[in-house]
């Protein structure tokens, strides 16, 4: 059973470009979470999604950031018009309904030049 997959593992963008981060949850998992980790800091919750629904986006910046988890395919975290402050590691986690555990992907390290 493959774990949570994230791609790309590393992403470099110039200021003003768009970044698309993908997350494929573990098989059978219908809940996906996105977190951001700035250097030397812990993980900050961004958004919690179920298939075709955003359950909680209280941690998402109001502008430029969006997330989706379609019926088919991976969950996508989209950052428009990236700025240097968006440079961070973005982690996705999945769980099978309300669960005692979240399984984390390896993360995508975004660098904005």
DSSP output for 31-78 = EEEEEEE-TTS-EEEEEEEETTEEEE-TTS-SSSEEEE--SSS-EEEE
| List 49, 82, 93, 112, residue binding another protein (CB under 8 A) | 93
Q: According to the binding rule CB under 8 A, does residue 102 interact with another protein?
A: yes
Q: Between 106 and 111, name the residue whose CB sits nearer to another protein.
A: 106
Q: According to the binding rule CB under 8 A, does residue 100 interact with another protein?
A: yes
Q: According to the binding rule CB under 8 A, does residue 27 interact with another protein?
A: no
Contact 46, 77 (CB under 8 A): yes
Q: Which residues 36-65 are close enough to bind another protein by CB under 8 A?
A: 41-45, 48, 55-56, 58
Q: According to the binding rule CB under 8 A, does residue 33 interact with another protein?
A: yes
> How far apart are alpha carbons 35 and 66 in whole angstroms?
13
Q: Which residues bind another protein (CB under 8 A)?
A: 31, 33, 35, 41-45, 48, 55-56, 58, 89, 91, 93, 98, 100-104, 106-107, 109
């Amino acid at each position: 059973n493959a774990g949570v997959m994230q791609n790309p593992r590393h992403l470099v963008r110039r200021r003003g470009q768009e970044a698309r981060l993908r997350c494929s949850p573990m098989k059978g998992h219908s809940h996906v979470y996105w977190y951001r980790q700035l250097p030397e800091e812990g993980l900050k919750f961004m958004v919690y999604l179920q298939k075709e629904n955003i359950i909680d986006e209280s941690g998402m910046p109001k502008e430029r950031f969006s997330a989706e988890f379609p019926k088919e395919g991976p969950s996508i975290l989209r950052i428009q018009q990236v700025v240097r402050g968006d440079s961070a590691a973005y982690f996705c986690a999945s769980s099978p309904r309300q669960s005692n555990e979240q399984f984390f992907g390896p993360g995508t390290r975004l660098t904005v030049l």
